[in-house]
C-alpha cells in the first residue's frame, strides 16, 4: 500500500540501510497498483536509490557527483550520503567542448578513476569520451543493441517484445554503444504500459549497475577490440 515507502523511509533514516533495501525488494513497483500508489512509487524509487548509494558492496568510493542541473534529485541523495557535489551549468560555457574541459578538471582534481553516467542527459564530446575510454560507464533502459536513444519502453511495447531490460556498457562516441558489461532482462507482462514497464526495468537497473561497477573496480574487466571480457570470458554478464 502507499504506507510502504513511508515505513521504508523511516527505517532508512534510522541508519538501517540494508533492512530498508530488503523491504523495497519485498514490495516491488509492480505491486503498487492503486491510484494512491503513485506517491508510493515515487517514495519507493527515492528510498531504494538512497540505499543503493550507501551500500558497501563496492571496492571503491564515490569521489564526486556532478550534475548539469541544480535541481537534480541525485544531488540531495549525495548530500545525505556525505558525498561532494558539483553543479556545472551548460549556460556558463560557450561550447560543449568548453563544458567538457571543465568537467575533466573537476574529475581530475578529485583523482576520479571511473566515470559513471546516470541520467546525465548531455551528449559528451568525442574528446571527452576518448579521454575516458574504457573508464566511462553508462546504463541504458533497453537490451542493447535494441532500442538505443529515447522512448525505449514505448518502442519495446509497440514492437511486441516479450522481454525488456537494461544494459550497462562502456561509452563510445556513437549514442548508446560500446562494450557491454551487464544486461538484466525483465518480462513484459500483459497489461503493461510505459510506467509499469519502466518501474520493472528500474528495479533491474538497481541490480545491474552495482554489479558492473563491482566488476570494473575489482579489475575483472578488460576490453579486446569492442568486446568486454569478464574474467577472460566474453561479456555481458546476464541477469534474468
pLDDT digit string, tens, across residues 206-227: 889 988 988 998 999 999 999 9
pLDDT given for residue 34 in this prediction: 42
pLDDT given for residue 136 in this prediction: 95
The yes-or-no verdict on residue 113 having pLDDT over 80 is yes
Would you tell me how many other CB atoms lie within 10 Å of the CB of residue 194? 14
pLDDT given for residue 183 in this prediction: 97
Which set of grid coordinates corresponds to residue 17?
540501510
pLDDT given for residue 10 in this prediction: 62
Catalytic residue selected from 140, 153, 169, 206: 140
Question: How confident is residue 7, by pLDDT bands cut at 50, 70 and 90?
Answer: low
Strands 180-187 and 163-170: antiparallel
The larger pLDDT score, comparing residue 49 to residue 240, is at 240
Q: Which helix H or strand E contains 42, and what residues bound it?
A: helix 37-54
Asked about 163 being catalytic, the answer comes back as no
pLDDT given for residue 190 in this prediction: 93
Complete DSSP assignment for 183-216: EEEEEPPTT--HHHHHHHHHHHHHHHHHHHHHHH
Q: How far apart are CA 60 and CA 21, in angstroms?
A: 20
The yes-or-no verdict on residue 185 having pLDDT over 80 is yes
pLDDT given for residue 140 in this prediction: 94
3-12, 24-33, 158-167, 219-228: least confidently modelled range:
24-33
Q: How far apart are CA 144 and CA 19, in angstroms?
A: 33
Amino acid at each position: 500500500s502507499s504506507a510502504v515507502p513511508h515505513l521504508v523511509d523511516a527505517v532508512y533514516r534510522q541508519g538501517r540501510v540494508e533492512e530498508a533495501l530488503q523491504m523495497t525488494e519485498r514490495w516491488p513497483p509492480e505491486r503498487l497498483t492503486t491510484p494512491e500508489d503513485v506517491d508510493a512509487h515515487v517514495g519507493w524509487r527515492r528510498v531504494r536509490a538512497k540505499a543503493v548509494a550507501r551500500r558497501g558492496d563496492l571496492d571503491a568510493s564515490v569521489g564526486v557527483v556532478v550534475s548539469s542541473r541544480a535541481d537534480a534529485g541525485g544531488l540531495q541523495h549525495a548530500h545525505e550520503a556525505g558525498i561532494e557535489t558539483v553543479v556545472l551549468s551548460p549556460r556558463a560555457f560557450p561550447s560543449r567542448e568548453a563544458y567538457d574541459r571543465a568537467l575533466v578538471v573537476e574529475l581530475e582534481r578529485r583523482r576520479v578513476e571511473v566515470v559513471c553516467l546516470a541520467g546525465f542527459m548531455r551528449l559528451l564530446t568525442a574528446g571527452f569520451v576518448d579521454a575516458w575510454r574504457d573508464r566511462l560507464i553508462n546504463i541504458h533502459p533497453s537490451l542493447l543493441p535494441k532500442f538505443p536513444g529515447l522512448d525505449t519502453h514505448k518502442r519495446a511495447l509497440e514492437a511486441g517484445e516479450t522481454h525488456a531490460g537494461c544494459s550497462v556498457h562502456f561509452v563510445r562516441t556513437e549514442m548508446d554503444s560500446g562494450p557491454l558489461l551487464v544486461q538484466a532482462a525483465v518480462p513484459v507482462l500483459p497489461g503493461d504500459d510505459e510506467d509499469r514497464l519502466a518501474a520493472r526495468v528500474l528495479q533491474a537497473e538497481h541490480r545491474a549497475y552495482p554489479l558492473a561497477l563491482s566488476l570494473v573496480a575489482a579489475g575483472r574487466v578488460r576490453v579486446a577490440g569492442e568486446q568486454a571480457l569478464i574474467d577472460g570470458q566474453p561479456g555481458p554478464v546476464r541477469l534474468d
